[in-house]
């Protein structure tokens, strides 16, 4: 089982739509959670951190469910510029690995 699993998509949605991505992680000792955005042939960039209480940044809302071991990203009022691959990122602390573990990403295509 992968440590971080995401639906690869693609999610094809019209402009203005609301779309949600889920991500599951295997290690209950995970401590830190993030969503990154990666444009085609570019480096990943931090979109937002995910806090236990959930957090919102403009049209983006992130949620964490520790009991079920998943995090989600909700994008409201999708824009063409939201088209990208969204990477779920988790930090596993009990392995001693001091690095982030990335999911394979979910591709979003927003269509006019």
Partner 1 sequence: SQTIHQWPATLVQPVGSPLSLECTVEGTSNPNLYWYRQAAGRGLQLLFYSIGIDQISSEVPQNLSASRPQDRQFILSSKKLLLSDSGFYLCAWSVRWSGVQNTEAFFGQGTRLTVV
Judged by the rule CB under 8 A, the positions of this chain that interact with partner 1 are 31-32, 34, 41-46, 49, 87, 91, 93, 97-105
- Least CB distance to partner 1 at residue 88 (A): 10
- Least CB distance to partner 1 at residue 10 (A): 12
β 19-25/45-49 pair status: unpaired
Nearer to partner 1, 2 or 59 (CB): 2
Q: By three-state DSSP, how is residue 82 classified?
A: helix
Nearer to partner 1, 45 or 59 (CB): 45
Q: Give how far the C-alpha of residue 90 lies from the chain's centroid of Cα atoms, to the nearest Å.
A: 10
Q: By three-state DSSP, how is residue 81 classified?
A: helix
Number of Cβ within 10 Å of residue 71's Cβ equals 26
- Least CB distance to partner 1 at residue 97 (A): 7
């Amino acid at each position: 089982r992968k440590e971080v699993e995401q639906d690869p998509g693609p999610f094809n949605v019209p402009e203005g739509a609301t779309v949600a991505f889920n991500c599951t992680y295997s290690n209950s000792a995970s401590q830190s959670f993030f969503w990154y955005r990666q444009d085609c042939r570019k480096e990943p960039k931090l979109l937002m951190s995910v806090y236990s209480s959930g957090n919102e940044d403009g049209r983006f809302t992130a949620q964490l469910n520790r009991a079920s071991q998943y995090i989600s990203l909700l994008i409201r009022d999708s824009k063409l510029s939201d088209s990208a691959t969204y990477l779920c990122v988790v930090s596993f602390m009990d392995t001693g690995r001091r690095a982030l573990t990335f999911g394979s990403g979910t591709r979003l295509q927003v269509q006019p």
